[in-house]
Copies of this chain bind each other. A is one copy, B any other.
């Protein structure tokens, strides 16, 4: 069990704890000897770690250290130029016997996957429109296993374990609320669009079960999740004999939800539910990114530039304001 987190480590103490490997490389030191240079992490942050003077017989073992694996580390906490650093003295690979809880090590959505899934599923199950109900529940059931861990992106917003579910759930909460204000909207068509809109991200990007994506799949690069989404709805629609108008409208929602051609939508939304789907998607992504930026910033200050927010620096107001 992990009991020491990076955020809490003090200089000059000696620690023994588990960390996930973010980067690892063997380098030559100033003394012409090899050393192991790692960036270690847990859910509270990252820290630089060095194992100096690696002996030749240690090299093969160290070369096997992979990003994403968890190591048990013994180290002294030193400081260099104001940054904490671990001077590692012992390293052990971990296994099942360590009973690791991965949520200690990786970025995870703030709600439990099972609960988010149930929330979404229950909404789909309650649809009055029987076609939309069948379609959405079927899609959710068929993908339940992967939904339990898939991130919503390789990097950027919701790139975290369960991120896809979290993204869909918050958008679904918003979808219900916008329909209270704008009654031009068909509530269930919008909600179905929300549930389905990013499902093909699970084809587009690859992900391990920690919700960490190594990149795009062949189909993902060649077609993208929007067009894959069209293709998938079409298959389901044919299999279920969905009404043509409804099928095409849902396919259009898949295709148009990025809105701008340069962001992947060759056609802009052509009816209110498609239009609103885009805004719900944007709002959720922006709120996610802003929240993240603010968490890393002191009150009364501006964050670092955030690439996904057009390189803006985000202001965190003073607490006592």
Q: Which residues of A contact B (CB under 8 A)?
A: 25-32, 80-81, 170, 173-174, 177-178, 180-182, 184-186, 218-219, 221-224, 226-227, 230-231, 234-235, 243, 245-246, 248-249, 251-252, 255, 260-262, 264-272, 275-276, 279, 282-283, 286-287, 290-291, 294, 302, 310, 312-318, 321
Contacts and interface: CB of A to CB of B under 8 A. Distances in A.
B227 A255 contact: yes
B32 A267 contact: no
Nearest to A177: B177
Nearest to A219: B248
A279 B286 contact: yes
A274 to B, nearest CB: 9
Contact of A272 (B230, B270, B290, B302): B290
Contact of A262 (B185, B261, B269, B321): B261
Contact of A181 (B27, B173, B286, B315): B173
Given A271-B290, A290-B184, A315 B222 contact: yes
Given A28-B30, A31-B30, A227-B230, A317 B268 contact: no
Contacts of A218: 245, 248, 315
A26 to B, nearest CB: 6
B32 A266 contact: no
A182 B280 CA distance: 12
A294 B274 CA distance: 14
Contacts of A267: 221-224, 264
A224 B287 contact: no
Given A182-B283, A270-B313, 8 more contacts: A28-B80, A177-B180, A223-B248, A231-B234, A264-B267, A271-B294, A271-B316, A276-B283
Contacts of A29: 30
A45 to B, nearest CB: 20
Contacts of A321: 243, 245-246
A18 to B, nearest CB: 26
A98 B27 CA distance: 38
A277 to B, nearest CB: 11
Given A221-B270, A268-B310, A287 B230 contact: no
Nearest to A279: B283
Nearest to A251: B223
Contacts of A294: 184, 271-272
A287 B282 contact: no
